[in-house]
Structure 1
Amino acid sequence: MRVDNAKPNKDGLPSESEVARYLRNHPGFFLNNEDILAELKLAHASGKAVSLLERQVELLRERNMDMRTRLNNLLENAQNNDVIFQRSRELILALLEARRPEELNNILCRRLVADFEKIDYASLILFGDPSRMGSSQLRVVSPETAQENIGALLRGKAVCGVLRGEELSFLFGKHADHIGSAALVPVCPGTGQGVLAIASKDPQHFKSSMGTLFIDFIVEVLNRTLPRLMKGPYSAG
């Protein structure tokens, strides 16, 4: 059975809801009645009664601490993003100066690992005809081989998270056993295809919910830089 607190009590005093409504409609009430404010007591979690003013100060302090924590998190994220932006810029400028595909690959993988926090391994793999690459050290595998080993990851968009052992072995070779989580981004330079894979020893670093803005940007540069460096076509067709 629902009790309507809006009805006056039997003793003729206003109900709690009426008092609350009055105070909401008259926020300056206690400014004109400071003696009442000083006499009010509230139950505290410790069991002690505290004044309304003390409780208000405590609430304000808690809210202030919460706001400071949120602000610090925002500032930390902004600083991290600024660092990532600067390092991405330096990496892209270095990629643009590469003269051979092998040089581009070495710059890419080396700087991803050296300059970006929690990236412990990096691998660039292109799909095509390995025999047409000559003596190039750039890793090229046939589309059939790629489909056989990482077909479940080739969705046309970035994939982040914990990968299967055989997928890690294909992407990172002997380092597979040391990898906790990884991210895989499609590379589509010209008519060819491939993947850029990066990995961390931390199983919690790369998650399905994380954004891939910066790595997508780097891949866009690869898509425009690789074709002019390749000596011959490497398309799957």
Structure 2
Amino acid sequence: MTDHSDAPLIDGDVEANLEKQQAADNESQRNKKVLARQVARYLIQNPTFFAENIELLETIQFPRESGKTVSLMTHQTNLLRERNIEMRQRLDQLLQNARHNDEMFSHSRRLVLELLEARTVAEAGDALLKSFREDFGVEVTALTLFGPLPGSAGKLGQVRTSARANAEGSIGSILRNGRTVCGTLRPSENAYLFGKQADQVASAAVVPLADQLGILAVGSSDPNHYRSSLGTLFLSYIGEVLERLLPRLLEKS
């Protein structure tokens, strides 16, 4: 008969050995952490250490995403190259923004001068629509003045007219808001603002003119072009120019 009396003792020895090995591993990890803190503290207190031991820099290794390691020198070179690329990209973006702003200023200046030189509402409207189309790339522009406008019949050119009551019924919420609105409009709003060109408009920006004078609207076939977050500073600025100019031209009509 085989004697199995020693089996539990063997299992117990194995378990004990495993526990000792685990304890030793834990102690080794703690020692490494303590040593790492000591090394870090030493380097902080002695910032010239590597300058005095330059040969050690080549022995320092850094892990990479690929799993490979590289020397500190190579790591620093790669880091500087990446930062250089990032800085060039930022500089390119700044230059593009500067060129865009210069173009916007030049086009805006020319438009304002042409508006100031206009002798009639029709001339002002023609200058506005031409500039928006050719200089600013606007697909659809509509300038609507609220009537009645005595003595102006047939003298407004491309400028549209509408009774204030009709405007309230079609775009009342936009008028009551009183601020420039961007985004996708309801079909009835598009129809009122852009007339026969309404089916070309998927997004729009609308500027109510002060003192119930009228409304300026621009549209795009791109539903995302005039987003609700789109900056409206330029359109609001042109709206303010029209608010001051058109009443004087209407008096001359």
Q: Give the TM-score of the pair, scaled to structure 2.
A: 0.79
Instruction: Please say which structure displays the higher CA radius of gyration.
Output: 2
1:3-42 equivalent positions in 2, closer than 5 A = 10-11=30-31, 14-24=34-44, 26-42=46-62
C-alpha change, 1:166 and 1:52, in structure 2 (3 Å) is same
Give the aligned residue type for 1:88. S
| Deviation of 1:12 (Å) | 7.7
Q: 1:232 to 1:18 in 2, by over 3 A?
A: farther
Q: Alpha-carbon deviations, 1:40-98, whole Å to 9, x = none?
A: 11111122211111111111111111121111111111110110110000001111111
Q: 2:147 — aligned with what?
A: 128
Determine if the alignment matches structure 1 residue 142 to structure 2 residue 149.
Answer: no
> Which structure has greater helix proportion?
2
Asked whether 1:55 is paired with 2:66, we answer no
CA separation of 1:53/1:12 partners in 2, compared to 1, >3 Å: closer, same or farther? closer
Q: Which runs of 5+ in 2 are unaligned?
A: 1-27
Deviation per CA, 1:184-236: give whole Å up to 9, x if none: 11212xx4421111122222222222222222222221111111110489xxx
Return the letter of the residue paired with 1:104: A
Determine what percentage of the aligned residue pairs are the same residue: 43
- 2:219 & 2:252 partners in 1: Cα distance? 30
Cα distance in 2, alignment partners of residues 214 and 91 from structure 1 = 12
Per-residue CA deviations over 1:82-141 (Å, capped at 9, x if unaligned) read: 101100000011111111111111111121111103x11111112232676433333221
Question: Aligned residues, how many?
Answer: 223
Question: Residue 111 and residue 10 in structure 1: after superposition, are their counterparts in 2 closer, same or farther (change >3 A)?
Answer: closer
Kindly tell me: are residues 148 and 131 of structure 1, through their superposed partners in 2, closer, same or farther at Cα, counting changes over 3 Å?
farther
Superposition RMSD on alpha carbons, in Å? Answer: 2.4
Give the structure, 1 or 2, with the largest relative contact order (CA under 8 Å, sep 6 or more).
1
TM-score by length of 1: 0.84
